[in-house]
Amino acid sequence: MGAWRVPGYSEMRELGEGAQGRVVLARHDATGRPAAIKYLADRLARDPEFRERFRGEAALLSRLRNPYVAGLYGLVETPDGAAIVMEAVDGVPLKAVLAGRGPLEPEAALTVLKGSLLGLAAAHDLGIVHRDYKPANVIVRADGLSKLIDFGIAVDAGEAGRSGTPVYMAPEQWRDEPASPATDVYAAACVFFECVTGRRPYAAGDQAGLMGRHLLAPIPAEEVPEPLRPLISRGLAKDPWDRPLGAAAFVSELEAAASSAYGADWEGRGVRTLAGAAAALSMLFPLTALGLGSGGAAGAAGAAGAGGAGAAGTAGAAGKGVFGALGAKGAVAVAGGTAVVAAGGAATYVAVADGEPKVKPIVAGLAALSEPRQDLGGGMTFQVQGQVVTVTGGDAPLTRKVNQALRAPLEKRWTGLRTSLKRIGRGGYTDVVKPKILMSGDRLLSVWYTVALRGERGSGWDHSPATTVDLRTGASYGPLDLFRVPTERGLAPLDRKIKAHLPGGTYCGGEPDASTGPVVLRGTDNPSKFVRSGEVTMALTPAGVRVAFYGSILGYASACGELDTVVPYAELGGMLKPALLAKVPYPSPTRS
The residue length of the chain stands at 592
In contact, 349 and 339? CB cutoff 8 Å: yes
Encode burial over 252-262: b for 16+ CB neighbours within 10 A, e otherwise. Answer: bbbbbbbbbbb
Q: How crowded is residue 578: how many other Cβ atoms within 10 Å of its Cβ?
A: 10
Residues 186, 169: Cα–Cα separation, whole Å: 8
Does the active-site annotation cover 132? yes
Whether the Cβ atoms of residue 277 and residue 97 lie closer than 8 Å to each other: yes
Contacts of residue 320, Cβ cutoff 8 Å, sequence gap at least 6: none
The C-alpha atoms of residue 200 and residue 333 are separated, in whole angstroms, by 49
Among 231, 256, 258, CA closest to 575:
256
The single-letter DSSP state of residue 330 is S
Q: Is 559 exposed, middle or buried (0-12, 13-18, 19+ CB in 10 A)?
A: middle
Catalytic residue among 132, 150, 431, 481: 132
CB 58 within 8 A of CB 349: yes
CA dist., res. 115 & res. 27, Å (int): 28
Q: How far apart are CA 194 and CA 201, in angstroms?
A: 7
The four Cα atoms 366, 368, 369, 370 give a dihedral, to 10 degrees, of 180
Bridge partners of residue 385, in order along the sequence: 370, 432
Is the separation of the CB atoms in 199 and 210 below 8 Å?
no
Nearest to 90 by CA among 146, 136, 39: 146
Measured CA to CA, the distance from residue 374 to residue 381 in angstroms comes to 5
Amino acid at 351: A
Q: How far is CA 207 from the centre of its chain?
A: 26
State the Cα–Cα distance between residues 43 and 24, nearest whole angstrom: 18
16's enclosing H/E stretch is strand 9-18
Q: What residues are labeled active site?
A: 132
